[in-house]
Chains A and B, each alone.
Chain A
Amino acid sequence: MAGENEIEGRNRNGEQMHYSSTNLSSDWPFNGSNDLTNTSPTIWDHNPTNSQHLGAFCDVNLQNNATTSSSALGFRKGNHIAPSSWSPPNSAVKRGGVFLPPPPAATSTMLPHTLSQFPADSGFIERAARLSSFSAGNFEDMMNPFGNVPESSLSPYSNRPVQGQPQDGFVNVIKSTSGEGSKDTPPPVDYETNDGSQPKHDARQGGSGFSGNNLPGEAEYSEGGQDETSNEGFGSKKRRRSDQDTDYNQVKRSSQTPNEATRNNSEIQQKGDKNPNSIANKSSGKHGKQVSQSSDGQKEEYIHVRARRGQATNSHSLAERVRREKISERMKFLQELVPGCSKVTGKAVMLDEIINYVQSLQRQVEFLSMKLATVNPRMDFNIEGLIAKDMLESRVGPSGTLGFGADMAMAYAHNPSQMASIMQGGLSGLGSSSDAVRRTINSHLLAVGGVYKDPSSQLHDIVQMGLNPSGTPINTQNLGSTPPSHLKAEPQKTF
C-alpha cells in the first residue's frame, strides 16, 4: 500500500520537476503526505550545474534524511519555522499557499518547501523505514560543504534556539544540523542504545540522540497540519515532550534501518544518484519519462546498464545489452513508420519488411519521376489542388493506393477527361477543403504576399530568403483569387 502511494507521489513530483522555485512553493502544500518519501529522488535528478544547485543539494539532503534518519526531522522542523519569520512573505507561508521565495539565496528558496511539505503526515516514518536506500551518511557528507560549523552549534539544542528565535533564520539551522550530521554518523551505535524513555537525555548527549528529540516534534506537526507557522515553534516544544514516549519507538526503528543499510556506502553522491534510479526502475517506464530531461540521460543509462538477476555483469555483455536495447528501440520506431510491420515479430523479418518498403518507395519515386517527365509539359504552381488533395487523402485514408493503381493504367494517357472521370470522387470535395486551407494559411502569410508578383524571376530570391512552407500557400491564394492564366503563361514562354 505504501509502495503504491510512493509511486503515485513520484508521479506527481515528476510532473512538477521543472518547476522554478515559485512553483515548488505553491505545489508542495497540496501534495499529499505521500510526497515525503518521494521528492528526494526527483530532486536528485536536478542538474547540479544549475545556479540553484546549492538549493537542490540542501533539499535533497534534507529529504533524504527526513525519510530515513530521524535526525533530519529536527532539522526540518527548525527550518519550517525559519522561513516564516525570516523571509518577507510570511503570510503566504502561513496560509500554506503561495510562497514567494526571496531571490538572493537559492538555498533559502528551496528549503522552506521541503519543510512545508513534510509535516503533513506522521505515518511517513514507516514508509521511510521501508525506503532503506537513503542514508544518514548521505546527509552528513552532503551537508559538510555547507557547514563550516563551530562545535558549539553542534549541540542538539541548537535547534531549539532557532525555534524560539526564528529571526536567526534557517542558516543557523543548516549549520547546526550539518554539524550534527557529521557528528552523528561516527557512532552509529547510539541509535540502538537509545531508550524510548529517555529521548531528551540522548539528545543532549550527542548528535546521535537528537533524532529522538526531534521526531516526536515531527509527529506533532502532523497533527497540527499545515497551518502551523512560526508560532508553532513554541507550542510544539511542549507538545513534543508529551508525545515523545509514544512516537519515539517508531522513530527509532526508522532511523536504525537506513543507517545500517547505508553505513558502508563510500560514494555517497553516486549512491544518491543510483537510488532514485532503482526506484524509477520499479515504477514503470512512463514515470521515468516524466522526470526532467537533464536527468533522463543519466537515468536511462542506469536503467540500461543495470544487470537483472541472472544476467551477466561483465562490461562486454553489459555493453552488448545496451546496444541491443538501443537497436530494439529504433526498431520500434521503424515499426510504426513502416505500414504492415506492426504485426511482425522478430528482428530479421522486420528488417526484411523495412528493406522491402524502402525499395518500394524508391521504385515509386523512380516511376513517378518517369511519369512526371512524360505527363506534363506545363508546370504551373497550382499547389492549392495539391494541398487540397492531400487533405482529402488524409481524410479518406488509404485511397492513395487505389488512385495509384488507376494512375498506372493511365500512365501515358494524356486525355484529361478520362482522368477527370477517375478522379471525380476525389475532386468532389475539393472546393470546400481548399477554401479551408486557404483561410488557415493566409492568415499568417499575408505579410509575405507582396513577394509573389512574378514567381519565375523571384523564386530564387525567395528560396534564399529561407522561405519555408509559408511561401507556397501565397501562390495558392493568388491562384484562388485570379485564375491561373498568368502563371500558366510563364512556362509557355519556354516553348
Chain B
Amino acid sequence: MSASQQLTPTNPNSALKIRLAYRFLLTLNTLNAKKPPNFDHTQIHRRSHRVKIAAYASMASVVGPKRAWSRAILWKIRNRGMLARNKKRIHRISTPIRLHRHHARRRRNPNRVVHVDPFVNSGLEVKLRKLVPGAETIDPCGLLDETADYIKYLATQVEVMRNLVDLYSTI
C-alpha cells in the first residue's frame, strides 16, 4: 500500500475512532482495576501519566508495527523503565544524525553558500523530528509521511479522549 493511499484524508473516520476508543477503554479499565484512584495530588499526577501512556499505547497498538512512530511509541512504552534509568545514554543515541552532518559541513566552510531548500536548513525540521516519535533518523520525505499519519491518529485520539471526558463528567 502506498503512502499516498494511506494518507488520504478521510472525514471523521468512525471505524478508526471506535477502534481507538476501544483500546483506550480497555487499558483504562485495567488501569482502574489495578489501582483505585484516590485523590491525592501525587496520586493524580501519577495516574494522569499512566492514562497518557495508555492513550499513546492504544494509538500505537491500533496502528500496529507498520509505522515508524507507532513502533517507536511501543518500544518506548515497553522499555520505559530502562529509559528512565539511563536517560542520558539513550538521549545521546537518539540525537539525529543529520544534525551532526550539518554542523560539520558548516564548520568546514562557513562562507560557502549551500543552496538547499529551507526545509532542511531551518531548525524546524529538527523540531519536528523531536515531536514525532521515532522520526529522528528517517529522511525528510519519510518524516513528513510519518508526521501526517501521526497527526491523523493523534487528532482522533484527542477527539476520543475529549468525548470520554465529556461522557464521564456528564454521568
Contacts and interface: CB of A to CB of B under 8 A. Distances in A.
Interface stretch (B10-18, B75-83, B96-104): B10-18
A25 B154 CA distance: 49
Given A372-B168, A386-B164, A423-B166, A379 B51 contact: no
B8 to A, nearest CB: 8
A472 B18 contact: yes
Contacts of A382: 167, 171
Contact of B128 (A326, A355, A473): A355
A334 B145 CA distance: 8
Contacts of B118: 347-348
Interface stretch (B87-95, B105-113, B119-127): B119-127
Interface string A346-375: 011001101101110110111011111111
User: Which of B15, B140, B160, B170 has the most CB atoms of chain A within a 10 A radius of its CB?
Assistant: B170
Interface string A14-43: 000000000000000000000000000000
Given A365-B55, A383-B21, A351 B125 contact: yes
A208 to B, nearest CB: 47
Main secondary structure of the interface of B (DSSP, over half): helix
Nearest to B167: A385
A416 B169 contact: yes
Contacts, number: 208
B52 A494 contact: no
A378 B168 contact: yes
Interface string B39-66: 1000010011111101110000000000
A407 B162 contact: yes
Given A370-B51, A379-B25, A491-B29, A362 B131 contact: yes
Interface string A456-489: 1001000100001101110000000000000000
Contacts of A348: 118-119, 122, 124
A368 B165 contact: yes
A330 interface: yes
B166 A494 contact: no
Contacts of B117: 324, 327, 347
Nearest to B121: A348
Interface string A365-403: 110111111111111011101110111011000001001
B42 to A, nearest CB: 12
A322 to B, nearest CB: 10
Nearest to B140: A327
B7 to A, nearest CB: 5
A288 to B, nearest CB: 13
B158 A469 contact: no
A348 B50 CA distance: 35
Contacts of B36: 377, 494-495
Interface residues of B, number: 67
A366 B160 CA distance: 13
A373 B162 contact: no
A189 interface: no
A371 B33 CA distance: 18
B18 A387 contact: yes
Contact of A338 (B14, B15, B22, B151): B151
Contacts of B47: 373-374
Interface in B143-171: 144-145, 147-148, 150-152, 154-155, 157-171
Contact of B39 (A329, A354, A374, A381): A374
A346 B7 CA distance: 21
Contact of B141 (A327, A376, A379, A473): A327
B170 A369 contact: no
Contacts of B50: 373
Interface of A: 323-324, 326-327, 329-331, 333-334, 336-338, 347-348, 351-352, 354-355, 357-359, 361-362, 364-366, 368-379, 381-383, 385-387, 389-391, 393-394, 400, 403-404, 407, 410, 413, 416, 419-420, 423, 426-427, 456, 459, 463, 468-469, 471-473, 491, 494-495
17 contacts: A330-B7, A338-B151, A348-B118, A351-B124, A365-B154, A368-B162, A374-B47, A374-B48, A379-B25, A385-B167, A391-B14, A394-B11, A403-B166, A459-B29, A469-B18, A472-B18, A494-B32
The 9 closest A-B pairs by CB, nearest first: A330-B144, A369-B51, A370-B48, A376-B168, A373-B48, A369-B52, A373-B47, A469-B18, A368-B161
Given A361-B151, A369-B55, 15 more contacts: A330-B141, A334-B147, A354-B128, A358-B150, A361-B155, A368-B165, A369-B51, A370-B48, A373-B44, A373-B48, A385-B167, A386-B164, A390-B12, A419-B166, A471-B22
